[in-house]
Chains A and B, each alone.
Chain A
Amino acid sequence: MTSLAEIKERAFGPRVPREEIFRDPLRFLLPTIFIGVAGILLIISTFFPYWTLEMQAPQFPKGLEIQVYVDEMVGDVHEIDGLNHYIGMRPLSEAGQLERSLSIIMVGVVIGLLVGAVYVHNPCALILTWPAVLWPAIFLGDLFFWMWNFGTHLDEGAAFSNIIDPFTPPIIGQGTVAQFHTNAVWDTGLLIAFGASGLVIVGLILHRRAYKPLLDRVKAERAAEAIPVAEA
């Protein structure tokens, strides 16, 4: 009969014997630190804009700017919407409504999975950290989707529809829309999220280095136990 502890070990990987922790505390502490800091960075990143679009035109000497956070859009949204109606683009607030409303919850889930990864000492930890590693890429993918969606689904009845062909504004770097020069910047929040990604990856490597030997040992022990049973 398998004990509860045994089920736990099979699901979450081997637990570390106390004496082994004391022998090399850094080995087990480091992955936790890296993954933990990554989680904190992910929280911090939500307080900063992920993506900023600067727009310059002759009649806007101060320029227009829109800043996209994971959960909101700020800046000259009203003004840009006003301009966009000429080319038949839908109001920006209609883009990514679901994503923005769920984003903070999603950050919580991603961090929860990270915390889980710290306790899981087998290759499943890799799967649990994927959302955190991919978080910035998911953001950019979603952003690109909405840029494409909005830029290529213009109202053909709009006043300037004959001047502007459907387009997808670049999600990084310079672009041009009518008289506007645009500059898309991957902003602080996104860079922090990328940093968190990197920390998670490093944490995973350390995680593997810490627990792989234990896991191998347990497997070997199990294999050793299993052989006599088979023989019997």
Chain B
Amino acid sequence: MVAIATLNRRKIWAIALTMALVAVFAAVACSSGDEDDPTAAPAASAQGQLGGDAKSIAERRGLSDADIEAALKTFTPTGVMDEYLMFSSGGHSGQLHVIGMPSMRLLKTIAVFTPESWQGYGIGSNESEEVLEGGRVNGDEVLWGDTHHPALTETAGEYDGEFVFTNDKANARVAVISLKDFETKQIVKNPITLSDHGATMVTPNSEWVIEGGQYAMPLSGDYAPISDYQEKYRGMVTMWKFDRAAGRIDTTQSFAIELPPYWQDLCDAGKLVSEGWFVCGSFNTEMATGGNQDGNPPFEAGASQADMDYLHVFNIEKAIAARDAGKTVQIQGFPVIPLEVAASDGILHLVPEPKSPHGADVTPGGEYIVVSGKLDPHVTIYSFDKIIAAIAAGPAETDSFGVPVLAFDDVVEAQVEVGLGPLHTQFDNKGYAYTSLFLDSAVARWTLGGPYASLNPDPEWSLITKTQVHYNVGHIAAAEGDTVSPDGKYLVSLNKWSLDRFNLVGPLLPQNFQLLDIEGTGEEMPVIYDMPVGFGEPHYAQIIKADKIHAWEVYPEIGFNPLTGEIDPSATLAGEERVERDGNTVHVYMTAVRSHFTPEHVTVKEGDHVAWHITNIERGLDATHGFAMPGKNVSLSIEPGETITTEFDVTDDGVFPFYCTEFCSALHLEMAGYFLVEPSGS
């Protein structure tokens, strides 16, 4: 006290001011340190810089610096959303998978062509069975599919997050899935062929969904001996008209184009400068017919003889004009532009392409078409401008069906040797293209030229690096990598084989999705995550920025029918539950709420037909109920607000306990009831 008292007032002020200045300086220094100093982060890029526990964990698990970096790039803590969603074909599971990126967490499997009991898809619900009905093949029920190429709807060449299409290669079918509820709304069967591969691809505003065929056959569906292959077998491409407002393909506005009996392969729509056009690759322009049982060369050899096959180039407007002018023929009740019209009306031109190629991919600006040679170590890049010029100049040659063929040298822009077995190409935002190399088990990064050359420091049209993947990559998918504005950042290598990557689970091995970080330039392109795929052989995937999708949390209103998008006529609110008899049809109007069905007893007579309508009257997120009826092959998923109907014939008397299959509450087991079937004589 004495000391303070002895200080005069001026000294006290000086000390106080100095201390205040020091405090302000310290605060500024600390706060700027938090923002700028990378070493301030708890986990740095190298093991040696990790904090105590993290370092010992990394040592104990034998993690390298690269492993730690990969973990830091992909680890997504609980409750944190992924930046991207990948829609991956489910291959011969017949489904579509939704995977979060960069975490590579499988979020959902959307039932498409194959019944799926969790979603109650094709297991008793009228709504889903109506969708599957659309996929009947020659009248027969086909309850699986081989999904290959999902296509998100686009607006001005950008994914808009509204719908996604996918195809079934095995039966030539196309499905429409709404991204409001992630449910399949429609399946259309191609009326004139039985296999497709160039599907599904959309035009830049999704007016058209392209479905290119694969194995040529008589489009009439009739028998023709294979010796008549060149005369009677044909390829085709179908233009499905998409009615976005209805959320359905309008089959009445759709049509097909007859093609030579080459085996058409992947297609891609033009965009920006090439909008209004689309291309499809092909192989087996040799028109080999196989027959190794008779000593003929097998398809694999016969279809691989020629050095060149044909890229098919289509003009959409001219096709529509021919359709509108009535230049179609009806085949199996479907309008088809005959091959000679396609040739004479400028709808179709052929461009030589080496050799048994696979992917045909249009660059983001639409200027180039990249064709991967499959049996040729190059990617061949065609200039769209040159194709237009060559078409205008009038091609000198035709193929044996009279289709004009452009001269290879007139239209090619560049060729880049990338490695063995090139299949598919994707793009980023830095002027790089990425091509999968099946035989090399690698992803190649190479540079585009022209308007893309200035986007990176590397020389144009040259191979920059290859990253090994594990193993035998098919498709690759980059973040928004086939839109007009790819994001770069991530690329997924959809590997066919996993071999030694995962624990052995019997002879049928999972496949392997490998995530690559393509944020860098030059040779930096590491694999940062392996995701085992134990559900079929996926083909293509598309990766959309997650914030473009605006899905429903619950159905918009109680009594909503997801298929019609309207209140279901059988919607039942609390207090309206009842059982009504109409002749020998018994209508059950039931509600489901945690944790009871109302009514809990339903009594009918043997021989009745039951139409059971259930409305989930919940509005809470996750308050989904299931409905399982033993012995009737009925499993329903009734999401909050949804009304669903199942119908079945009652053939046996007896007592059938039904119950809710979702663990909807602590009293989930009590959410049950009895379906009582009296003998018909009683």
**A contact residues vs B (CB 8 Å cutoff):** 59, 76, 78-79, 82-83, 86, 159
Contacts and interface: CB of A to CB of B under 8 A. Distances in A.
A82 B620 contact: yes
Q: How big is the B interface, by class?
A: 10 to 19
A159 B667 contact: yes
B366 to A, nearest CB: 44
17 contacts: A59-B622, A76-B620, A78-B619, A79-B618, A79-B619, A79-B620, A82-B593, A82-B594, A82-B618, A82-B620, A82-B623, A83-B594, A86-B665, A86-B667, A159-B595, A159-B667, A159-B670
Nearest to A159: B667
Interface in B581-620: 593-595, 618-620
A79 B618 CA distance: 7
Top 7 closest A-B pairs, CB basis? A79-B620, A78-B619, A159-B667, A82-B594, A82-B593, A79-B619, A82-B618
Nearest to B618: A82
Chain A contact residues: helix, strand, loop or mixed: helix
A82 B667 CA distance: 13
Interface of B: 593-595, 618-620, 622-623, 665, 667, 670
A79 B667 CA distance: 16
Contacts of B594: 82-83
Contacts of B593: 82
Contacts of A79: 618-620
Nearest to B667: A159
A13 to B, nearest CB: 56
B69 to A, nearest CB: 31
Contacts of B667: 86, 159
A174 B82 CA distance: 35
Contacts of A78: 619
A86 B595 CA distance: 9
Nearest to A62: B621
A59 B622 CA distance: 10
Contacts of B618: 79, 82
Contacts of A76: 620
A76 B667 CA distance: 21
A59 B666 CA distance: 12
Nearest to B620: A79
Contacts of A159: 595, 667, 670
Nearest to B622: A59
Contacts of A86: 665, 667
Given A79-B619, A82-B594, 9 more contacts: A59-B622, A76-B620, A78-B619, A82-B593, A82-B623, A86-B665, A86-B667, A159-B595, A159-B667
Contacts of A59: 622
A119 B35 CA distance: 66
A78 B623 CA distance: 12
A76 B620 CA distance: 9
Most buried by B among A59, A76, A79, A82: A82
Nearest to A78: B619
B552 to A, nearest CB: 16
Contacts of B670: 159
A61 to B, nearest CB: 8
A86 B665 CA distance: 10
Contacts of A82: 593-594, 618, 620, 623
Nearest to B619: A78
A159 B667 CA distance: 8
A222 to B, nearest CB: 67
Contacts of B619: 78-79
Contacts of B623: 82
B638 to A, nearest CB: 15
A146 to B, nearest CB: 22
A138 B557 CA distance: 37
Nearest to A83: B594
A82 B593 CA distance: 8
Nearest to B665: A86
Nearest to B79: A61
A34 to B, nearest CB: 45
B415 to A, nearest CB: 55
Most buried by A among B595, B620, B667, B670: B620
Nearest to B596: A85
A59 B620 CA distance: 11
B135 to A, nearest CB: 38
A59 B621 CA distance: 10
Nearest to A91: B574
B234 to A, nearest CB: 57
A86 B664 CA distance: 13
B33 to A, nearest CB: 34
Nearest to A77: B619
A159 B595 CA distance: 10
Contacts of B622: 59
A83 B667 CA distance: 12
Most buried by B among A76, A79, A83: A79
A86 B666 CA distance: 10
A160 to B, nearest CB: 8
Nearest to A79: B620
Nearest to A163: B666
A210 B619 CA distance: 58
A12 to B, nearest CB: 54
A86 B620 CA distance: 16
A82 B620 CA distance: 9
A159 B623 CA distance: 18
A141 B670 CA distance: 39
A91 to B, nearest CB: 10
Nearest to B593: A82
